[in-house]
C-alpha cells in the first residue's frame, strides 16, 4: 500500500472518531440502552380463549405494594433500625405444634426447601406419584413402611412461612383401605406422620449449608411472608397477620415473651394481652435496643401496655399496642414496639 492510500485511510478513520456523538451518543450507532426500560410502554395482558389456563401469563417479577413500613408524617427523623430477628444455626429447622397439628418451620425460602424435599424422597427411596411445584405439594405412591400394619401414602406440602424467607413443611399420612377415598383432613396414623416429619426435618437441617433453589417453586410460592406492619385510616400502625385465629393467638403469646414483654393477664374472649415491657435483658442485645445509654434503663422499661388482637375473619388477624396509662406513644416508638413483636411471630 503506497503512502497516498495510507494517508486516505487514516483520514477516513479520524473523521468519524472525531464526532463521538455519531457513534456513542443518544442517536449514535452504539448508544447506551441501559435507561430504555423507563420508556417501555405498559402492554395489556394477553387474553386467552375461555376455558384455557392463563397461569403461565402471570407476572414473574411483580412489584409488591410498599406497606411493610408506613411513612411517618411531619419532620423527618432517621428511625432506629428495626430489630433483626433471625434463627440461629441450631434453629434452622424447628418442629412446632398447636393442638393436634404439627409442622416443621424451616429458616429458608420455599424455593430452597423444595429441592431439599425432593432430595430427601430420593435418598429415602420413597416413590413419587404426583408433583405440583406451583401448589408446593408432593404425593408418594403406596408404601409399606416398617412397623406399619397397613400400606400408606404421604403428602408433603410446603407453605410460605410467617416471616419473610421462611417456609412451613406439613406432612399428611393416609392408610390404604378397601374404599378408594380422597385424602383425609388429618392423618390416619399421627405417629407415622410425626416420625416422617422429624426425619425430613433432620435431613433438611443436616444439609442446610448447601441448598439449591427451584425457580418454579420460588415463583409459585411467595417468600415475602404472611405478616406486615400497616396503618389505619387514622394513621395508627398495626400488625396484619395472615393466620387462623387459634394459631395467631398462640403465636402472639410466644412472640410477646420473646420480645421481653411479661404477660400479667390475658382475655381470649376480648383478644387482649396485658403486658409489661421489661426492656433489654442482656448486654448482647442490639438493634433498636441500643440507645447508647451507659448504665441508664431503657426509657420504656417497666411500662405497662395493652395488646389488642382482633380476628378480622378469613384468617386475618390485626394486632395493636397502646399504653395502659392512657398516655399516647410517639408514633416512632409505637412502630418500634410493633416491629419487635412482628419479628418474633412465627
**Ordered DSSP codes for 250-294:** HHHHHHHHHTTEEEEEEETTTTEEEEEE----STT--GGG----S
The Cα 10–Cα 320 span in angstroms is 76
| Strand-strand pairing, 304-313 and 261-267 | unpaired
Q: What is the pLDDT of residue 179?
A: 75
Residue-wise burial string across 3-18, b where 16 or more C-beta atoms lie within 10 A, e elsewhere: eeeeeeeeeeeeeeee
Provide mean pLDDT across the span 171-192.
Answer: 88
Give the three-state DSSP class for 205: helix
Provide mean pLDDT across the span 220-238.
Answer: 81
CB-based contacts of 34-39 (< 8 A; 24+ apart in sequence): none
Ordered by start, the domain boundaries in the chain are 89-220, 227-342
**Other C-beta atoms lying within 10 Å of the C-beta of residue 85:** 17
Q: What is the pLDDT of residue 99?
A: 86
Give the pTM.
0.68
**Quick one: 319 exposed, middle or buried, by C-beta within 10 A (0-12, 13-18, 19+)?**
buried
- CATH of range 89-220; options 3.30.310.170, 3.30.2130.10, 3.30.830.10, 3.40.630.10: 3.30.310.170
Give the three-state DSSP class for 208: coil
Q: What is the pLDDT of residue 25?
A: 63
Contact 48, 54 (CB under 8 A): yes
Overall residue count recorded for the chain in this entry: 346
Q: For 136-170, how does the pLDDT look when each residue is reduced to its tens digit (9 = 90+)?
A: 999 999 988 877 788 999 999 999 999 988 999 99
The Cα 197–Cα 252 span in angstroms is 24
Contact 118, 217 (CB under 8 A): no
The Cα 107–Cα 198 span in angstroms is 15
* CATH number 1.20.20.10 given to 227-342: no
Phi, psi of 65 (to 5 degrees): -65, 145
The Cα 135–Cα 289 span in angstroms is 40
Give the three-state DSSP class for 68: coil
Q: What is the pLDDT of residue 228?
A: 92
Phi-psi domain of 3 (left: phi exceeds 0; alpha: psi -120 through 50; beta: other): alpha
The larger pLDDT score, comparing residue 320 to residue 216, is at: 320
3-state SS, one letter per residue, for 23-60: HHCCCCCCCCCCCHHHHCCCCCCCCCCCCCCCHHHCCC
The Cα 155–Cα 143 span in angstroms is 12
Q: For 92-140, how does the pLDDT look when each residue is reduced to its tens digit (9 = 90+)?
A: 899 999 988 999 999 988 888 999 999 999 999 999 999 998 889 999 9
Amino acid at each position: 500500500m503506497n503512502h497516498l492510500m495510507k494517508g486516505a485511510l487514516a483520514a477516513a478513520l479520524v473523521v468519524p472518531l472525531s464526532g463521538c456523538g455519531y457513534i456513542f451518543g443518544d442517536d449514535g450507532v452504539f448508544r447506551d440502552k441501559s435507561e430504555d426500560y423507563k420508556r417501555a410502554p405498559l402492554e395489556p395482558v394477553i387474553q386467552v380463549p375461555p376455558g384455557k389456563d392463563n397461569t403461565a401469563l402471570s407476572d414473574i417479577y411483580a412489584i409488591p405494594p410498599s406497606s411493610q413500613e408506613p411513612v411517618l408524617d411531619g419532620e423527618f427523623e432517621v428511625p432506629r433500625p428495626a430489630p433483626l430477628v433471625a434463627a440461629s444455626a441450631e434453629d434452622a429447622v424447628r418442629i412446632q405444634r398447636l393442638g393436634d397439628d404439627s409442622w416443621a418451620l424451616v429458616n429458608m425460602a420455599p424455593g430452597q426447601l423444595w429441592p431439599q424435599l425432593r432430595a430427601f424422597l430420593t435418598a429415602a427411596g420413597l416413590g413419587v406419584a404426583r408433583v405440583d411445584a406451583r401448589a408446593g405439594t408432593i404425593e408418594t405412591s403406596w408404601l409399606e413402611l416398617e412397623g406399619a400394619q397397613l400400606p400408606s401414602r404421604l403428602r408433603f406440602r410446603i407453605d410460605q412461612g410467617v416471616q419473610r424467607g421462611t417456609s412451613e413443611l406439613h406432612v399428611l399420612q393416609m392408610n390404604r383401605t378397601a374404599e378408594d377415598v380422597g385424602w383425609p383432613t388429618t392423618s390416619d396414623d399421627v405417629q407415622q406422620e410425626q416420625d416422617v416429619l422429624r426425619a425430613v426435618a433432620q435431613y433438611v437441617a443436616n444439609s442446610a449449608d448447601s441448598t439449591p433453589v427451584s425457580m418454579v417453586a420460588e415463583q409459585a410460592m411467595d417468600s415475602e411472608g404472611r405478616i406486615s406492619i400497616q396503618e389505619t385510616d387514622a394513621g395508627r400502625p398495626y400488625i396484619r397477620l395472615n393466620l387462623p385465629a387459634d394459631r395467631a393467638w398462640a403465636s402472639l403469646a410466644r412472640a410477646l415473651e420473646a420480645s421481653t414483654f411479661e404477660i400479667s393477664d390475658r382475655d381470649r374472649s376480648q383478644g387482649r394481652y396485658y403486658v409489661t415491657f421489661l426492656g433489654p435483658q442482656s448486654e448482647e442485645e442490639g438493634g433498636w435496643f441500643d440507645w447508647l445509654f451507659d448504665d441508664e434503663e431503657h426509657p420504656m422499661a417497666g411500662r405497662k401496655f395493652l395488646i389488642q388482637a382482633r380476628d378480622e375473619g378469613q384468617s386475618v388477624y390485626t394486632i395493636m399496642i397502646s399504653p395502659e396509662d392512657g398516655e399516647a406513644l410517639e408514633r416512632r416508638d409505637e412502630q418500634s414496639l410493633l416491629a419487635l413483636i412482628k419479628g418474633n411471630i412465627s
